[in-house]
Amino acid sequence: MGNAKKISVLISGRGSNLEALLEAIDAGRIHGRVVRVLSQRADAAGLRHAEKRGILTTVVDVKAYPTRDAFDAALGDAVAADAPDLVVLAGFMRVLGAAIVQRFAGRMINIHPALLPSYPGLHTHQRALADGVKWHGCTVHFVTPEVDVGPFIGQSAVPVLPSDDEATLAARVLEAEHRLLEDAVRWFCADRLSVEGQMVTLRDALPAPVSCQQPQG
């Protein structure tokens, strides 16, 4: 099957998606290994998930750089030091500029808590509830200089229940994020993804069953 792909993960907070990804790797479901976890915040709780496994961590403090370009350059150098095959933005709450995105083009992916192209940007759950949608979810996509519009690798939908508030909806979407990100990273590490323009193709995929159910209260 070849050597395990090297993965760098960027986080900003608690690192829930990182922890789920590490558990999937530990269980042998992904033929890859996380070589470093990076954050722009020294107090990002998710760094502990890496440290307890002996994975290298790096903080590139955004406040230490006078401009966004300077920060992006420093972050890009820190990521590139490990020559990763894949860079995963797992709750990384910074918009990256074109230079760093192009530096890792085709090998940088992001998990976004909405069914893109609906609700790009922030406060996705709040906006979905305000609009009264019946389905919400998450998207994994390749990162491009334009925010939240890169080629979609996969999406997962969850029902919006009449009793939902922002917290309960966010929790349901987060469970879907964990599963979807694992799938996307596994496919990448197995060299099953190909990209042509905005279209991502999953090689050797079985047809998915089609089903739809009415959200229940």
CA–CA gap between residue 147 and residue 56 (Å, rounded): 28
Residue from 31, 49, 112, 136 carrying the catalytic annotation:
112
In this predicted structure, what is the pLDDT of residue 207? 67
* DSSP annotation string for 100-122: HHHHTTTSEEEEESS-TTSS-SS
Residue 15 falls within a domain, yes or no? yes
Domain assignment of residue 168, given as a range = 5-202
Question: What is the Cα–Cα distance from 155 to 152, expressed in whole angstroms?
Answer: 8
Residues 103-144 have pLDDT tens digits of 999 999 999 999 999 999 999 999 999 999 999 999 999 999
Structure tokens at 109: 């992916």
pLDDT band at 183 (very low <50, low <70, confident <90, very high): very high
| 112 labelled catalytic | yes
Residue 166 has pLDDT above 70, yes or no: yes
Inside any domain, residue 10 = yes
- Give the model's pLDDT for residue 212: 41
* CB-based contact 88:109 (threshold 8 Å): yes
From the CA atom positions of the chain, what is the Rg in Å? 17
Q: What is the pLDDT of residue 150?
A: 97
Tokens 């993965």 -> residue: 7
Q: How many helices (H) and strands (E) does the chain have?
A: 6, 9
Whether 211 is in a domain gets the answer no
CA 85 distance to own-chain centroid: 15
Look up the pTM and report it. 0.93
Beta 108-112 vs 86-89: how paired, if at all? parallel
CA diameter of the chain: 51
Tell me the CATH number at 147: 3.40.50.170
- List the structure tokens of 150: 């890169």
pLDDT level of residue 205 (50, 70, 90 thresholds): confident
pLDDT digits over 78-95, tens only?
999 999 999 999 999 999
Tell whether the model's pLDDT for residue 208 goes beyond 80. Answer: no
Give CA–CA dist 19/11, Å, rounded: 11
Number of domains in the chain: 1
Take residue 181 and report the two structure tokens written for it.
């990100």
